[in-house]
Structure formats: structure tokens, C-alpha cells
Structure 1
Amino acid sequence: MKSIRTALLGATLIAGAGANAASADELNLICSADNALCEKLAATFEEKTGIDVSMIRLSSGEAYAKIRAEARNPQTDVWWGGTGDPHLQAANDELSASYESPMLKELLPWAVSQAETSGYRTVGVYSGALGWGYNTEILAKKGVEAPKCWADLLNPALKGEISIADPNSSGTAYTALATLVQLMGEDEAFEYLLAMGKNVSQYTKSGSAPVKAAARGEAGLGIVFMHDAVKQAVAGFPIEVVAPCEGTGYEIGSMSLVDGSPNPDAAKVFYDWVLTPEAQNLALEVGSFRIPSNKASTQPEEAPKLENVRLIDYDFAEYGDSERRRNLLARWDMEVGAAAN
């Protein structure tokens, strides 16, 4: 066992003495980021600590649903990544455990704010702005002017060319839904989504899938977090990245400990480690261009600079509230989802 395990695990075992007599050598992890990053984090943590990680990759909505379904008999220890809204919903529903990590003092203000908003039941691990990536070759071939604003996505020439995820399964798509509601007002946002739906070819399960489809030439445009579009552009695909002119929302990718988890001590070891610059810099090794939450982590040069994007004052507390989120998703199902079927 290496020094990180000795230091971190020792502290959590002492703190947890007399509590659950759970194994400190196992960790059940849900990861809601790209699979390459999930696997990198799990493998590196195993190597450094000797703790065996059982990891599954689920989108944010799927992760929340799994944790909620297992509330009486939790099977998961840590939920890492994915948009902050469902993490806040889990906190609101008391599905996650309160924990003030000693690493909090090293994090950027938006990450600490996420922890404070949730009563320390979740914390920010990365951030990124919402936008889209479009395939320059497809749009040029169709003679479609490059869309720079949300309003441009209603262009009839884009019929069948837009891909976006389903907000029930995807935190990215829920962020898009909540962003439009905050930009336009709720009724106006749903009118917009119905109109844009005429141009949508598919509602995917995964939030990053739309721009991957655009990169492969299966769609003209994918609405995603901008760092996911940057990844495709850096990989050499003909993808141009856009931050919408009217303004846009952003995510605070988050992490939560599951309340009543089977391995709470190992969970805290992972939680503290993954907030370090060493762990956060692993994202660059797999081509992930999110903005990390530790002040000392390396900021990817390719990442869209938030100061250059017209960001709305996204209300994480309101749109992470359980009732608000449920109502918006129910309305999306009745109006937008029903129209797509």
C-alpha cells in the first residue's frame, strides 16, 4: 500500500471507528463522465491505494434513478461526475451523505458554493459551458449558414440535422432545458423546444453522444457541453464549437457520497483523492477538456474560457430542487417527448 492510502485511509478509519464495519478495500463507483476518464480514475486509484474499484458508467439521470431505487439498501459508495442538478436533487432527497472534505480549502469558489448549497452533500469537481458543435462539411454541403445563436437552430434548413439528448437520462440535456427556461421563461422555452424539435433527428440517452454523431457525419449539429465538442475537434473531426450569442448555462460537474453506502471509509478516501491536482490532471491524459475544480490543477489550453462565454446566472438551487426538476421533466415528456413519438 502506498502513502496516499496510509494517510487518507488512516484518517477515515479513525473517524469511522464504531460505525459500519465495512470493508476499506472495496469501492463501488458510479461515474457519469466519458468512459475513458472513468476508467482512468478507477485504475489509477486502485494502483495508488490497493482498493478494488467496481465501476459502472451511467448518465446523470440514470445514476440518480439507480441511487434512488436503492435507497433502502444502497449498493453504491460514490457517484462521481455528471451535471450538478441531479446531484443537488439527490442531496435534497437526502440520498447523499454530508461530508466536509479537508480538500475544500483548495477548491475554486464555484466548487465550494456547490458544496455549501447542498449542505455539503455534493461538491464541484469540474465545470463547463453549454453550447454545440456543428459539422462544417455537412452544413457547407447543404448551404446552411453556421448557427451562432439559439434562434438559429429553428432554421428549417436544419431539419433532421440536430441531435440532443433526452433530459430524463442526460444531465447535459436537462441543463439545456433549464437554461432555456431561465433565458426565455418557461412557456416560451417549451414553445421553442417544440419548434426546434422539428429539426431534431434523435434524442439520445447520453449527453455527449450528439456531438459524436456530428463528428461521424450522422448529424449536422450536436447540442452538448462545449468541452465535449472541443474533444471531437482536437481529435481531428470537422467540428466547430459555438457558445450561443443570447447566453447559455453551464454545469458544475459534481461528486456525492451515497448515504448508508456499504464502504463509507473507502468512499471518503476516493472523494479526497479525486479533488487533488494529481487526480484532476488525469483528465488531460484522456483528452478531456473540462475545467477542474482544484485551484492548483492544470487548466486545459483547449478548454473554452468561461470568461469569454456569455453565461447566464444559472440558478443551481432552483433547478436542482427535486420538485422543480420533476415538474420540468414531466412537462418535457408531455409536450416535447410526445411530439417526437
Structure 2
Amino acid sequence: MHLGMRWALGGLTALMLSSTAMAESITVYTAYEEDEAAAFLEEAKKALPDVDVNLLRLSTGDLAARIIAEKANPQHDVLWGFAVTSMVNPQILEGLEAYKPEGLDAIPARFRDPDGKWFAVTGYMAALCVNNERLKDKGLKMPTSWADLTDPSFKGEVVMPNPASSGTGYIQIDSLLQMMGEEKGWAFLDKLDKNVAQYIKSGSRPCNAASAGEYTVGASFGLRAVKNIEEGYPITLVVPSEGAGNELEANGLVAASKNKDAAKRFLDWTVSKEAANAYFSWKAIVTVPGGTMPERFTKAGLPEDVSQVLFPVDFKAAAEDRTRIIQTWQEKYER
């Protein structure tokens, strides 16, 4: 979906632009969901009232294709909230310029490009949604790990995202292969597959299916579980003890930008405490220090410091291996 917007959506625009006649203007490309982007930009405007942002929001795959198609003549100044596994594509990375926003050193090195071309401020993590009522009815033991889901007692009780269509599904599969090594990883997935009732073309729907009591366990992502718990569904959020696969959402400065001063000010804001608090309304992973995780997240089962449970994904390898891994997965398990 193409959203050409200045700072925010709908009725907020006129209010926010009433005094921007002399504003500097930048174009930002993002893969954040439109409601997330609108909320974040509303906060950014408070800090940067004289910067006029035109935003294009597309899904990760569509945005990557557009950036590559425009690489001879980029139409944007900033890339914001973009999956690191896509950011590291050489055709995209070569269009970025190293930039170090004020305060960047406070973000752990594992969330930054060694060459300074990108830094990740948010992300999402794999998690299991376990239906408490169905678990009890079936006489099953609460799983705490991926390994627990290979027990024969869970046969037909597990649903997972299809990694060919779901980014969440891919990070789950790829992180297991990375943590175990491919030979042992594929052998593990063979065992897990025996218990999987179906693979669903969505990262959130496995959690929704478990929440509705259709299955006992839905492999999904952390914030989907939090939201379903808040809505009253009888589920438990489980972070697999092996470590949670994760995808990071990163920012970068476009080398060809003609508006670099304003672009840099925007990127500076993205690592501010105010930005961190805005992110925490929507994201399980916030790498910027200074923000406060909402109590509703921890009450639902997310650890206060999610960095302690994240598997250290090699994002470059995840990107390079994606086609091969998905093809192998489809040959083995797709049904």
C-alpha cells in the first residue's frame, strides 16, 4: 500500500502542517505497519516541528524491490524500520552512507552495522502461544522449548507459520538451523514436522488458532501473544529456552540524499529516549536504552530485558541462505 503522507495519517495532517511553510522536507521509506508509523511520526513531530516528512510505506519485499529498481536514482533520504535481512542485500546496502547519530553508542554493537551503514532500533521475536485449557484437557505438559514440541504427545497439536510466506516463519526455521548447525537442524525439523498439524501463511494466525482452542501450540511472535492475552484468551506466552529467533528493523541514511541535514536530524531522533518510549507501545524488541517496557508486556510473560533471550542471529547469513533454505523446507515439509 502506498501512503504518501506528511508526518501522520488522516486528520492529523492539517493540524501538524499548519506552521511548516519553511520546513525542510525529507522522504522516508519504511516497512513499519501504517498504524505503527503514524504513532511514531506523531512523536517525532514534537521534537522536529520544522522537518516535513513524506512517507512511503510498503511491505518489506515490495519496498526492497522498489529500492533496487530506483538505485540509479534514489527517491528517498532515509530508510526506516526495514528488516535487517533485507538491509544487508548488497544492492540496498551500497546505496547507504555511514552515519552515527548522537547517542548511537548506547545501542549494543550487535544491533549495529560494523561499517556504520545501518542501526536497528526495533524488532520482533519468535514466541509460542500455548492454550492453557486445551493443554489441560489433553493432559499435556507446558512446553518450555522447541525440543519439548517434538515429544509424541504433541502430535497434531502444533501449528507454525510457513517460512516461504511469513517473515516470522523464516526467522523461526533459520534460527533453529543456525543454533544447531544445518545437519542437526534439519534432523530436528524432521522430528518437529511429525507433530505439526499445518503450516499457515501468516506469522500471527498460528497464535490466533491456538488462542481459539483449535490447537494447543501456535508458533508465532511475542507481541501477537501479548495482544491475545490482553484480549482475554486463555494462553501462555512461552519464549523457547533455546533462544528466540528474531528479526531487527533498521534505519539508514541514503548516500544520494540531497537533504542530509534534515535526514540526519530525523535519524538522531530515532535513537532518542522519546523514540524508545514510542516504540515500546508496539514492539517487543527495542534496542534504544532509556525507554520503559509497558507493564502489560511483562505481565503477559515477556522478560524485561528481551536481549537476554534473543538468539544472536547472523542476519547476513540468514539473507544469503534464504532462497536455499526455503526451497529445502518446501521440498521436505510444505503441504
Task: Name the TM-score, length of structure 2 as normaliser.
Answer: 0.74
Following superposition of structure 1 onto structure 2, how do residues 99-248 of structure 1 map, counting pairs within 5 Å? 99-105=99-105, 107-108=106-107, 110=108, 112-117=109-114, 119-126=115-122, 129-155=125-151, 157-159=154-156, 161-166=158-163, 170=167, 172-198=168-194, 199-205=196-202, 207-217=203-213, 220-248=216-244
State the shift of 1:240 in Å: 0.8
Question: Which structure shows the bigger proportion of residues in helix conformation?
Answer: 1
Judged with a 3 Å threshold, the aligned counterparts in structure 2 of structure 1 residues 194 and 297 are, in CA distance, closer, same or farther, namely same
Match of 1:292 among 257, 266, 286: 286
- Which letter maps to 2:282? S
- Superposed CA deviations along residues 73-124 of structure 1, whole A, max 9, x for unmatched, are 434443333553333345884243321112314x33x2x443242x111112
State the shift of 1:289 in Å: 4.7
Structure-1 separation of matches of 2:132 and 2:323 = 32
In structure 2, what is the equivalent of residue 53 of structure 1?
Answer: 54
Contact 1:148 1:244 in 2 (8 A): yes
Contact 1:30 1:55 in 2 (8 A): yes
Structure-1 separation of matches of 2:37 and 2:94 = 25
Contact 1:289 1:300 in 2 (8 A): no
Judged with a 3 Å threshold, the aligned counterparts in structure 2 of structure 1 residues 190 and 336 are, in CA distance, closer, same or farther, namely farther
Contact 1:138 1:220 in 2 (8 A): yes
Structure-2 separation of matches of 1:300 and 1:120 = 30
In structure 1, what is the equivalent of residue 14 of structure 2?
Answer: none
Following superposition of structure 1 onto structure 2, how do residues 307-326 of structure 1 map, counting pairs within 5 Å? 311=309, 314-316=312-314, 319-321=315-317, 325-326=319-320
- Which letter maps to 1:41? F
- Superposed CA RMSD in Å reads 3.5
- The more displaced of 274-283 and 326-335 is 326-335
Contact 2:67 2:92 in 1 (8 A): no
- Which letter maps to 2:38? E
Contact 2:111 2:120 in 1 (8 A): yes
Judged with a 3 Å threshold, the aligned counterparts in structure 2 of structure 1 residues 247 and 281 are, in CA distance, closer, same or farther, namely closer
Structure-2 separation of matches of 1:142 and 1:264 = 59
- Which letter maps to 1:53? N
Q: Secondary structure at the match of 2:88?
A: helix
In structure 2, what is the equivalent of residue 18 of structure 1?
Answer: none
Contact 2:175 2:313 in 1 (8 A): no
Unaligned 5+ residue runs, structure 2? 1-22
Task: Name the TM-score, length of structure 1 as normaliser.
Answer: 0.72
State the shift of 1:162 in Å: 0.9
% identical equivalent positions: 25
Q: Secondary structure at the match of 1:81?
A: strand
Q: Secondary structure at the match of 1:53?
A: strand
Q: Secondary structure at the match of 1:51?
A: strand
- Which letter maps to 2:57? I
Structure-2 separation of matches of 1:45 and 1:129 = 25
Judged with a 3 Å threshold, the aligned counterparts in structure 2 of structure 1 residues 262 and 158 are, in CA distance, closer, same or farther, namely farther
Q: Secondary structure at the match of 1:244?
A: coil
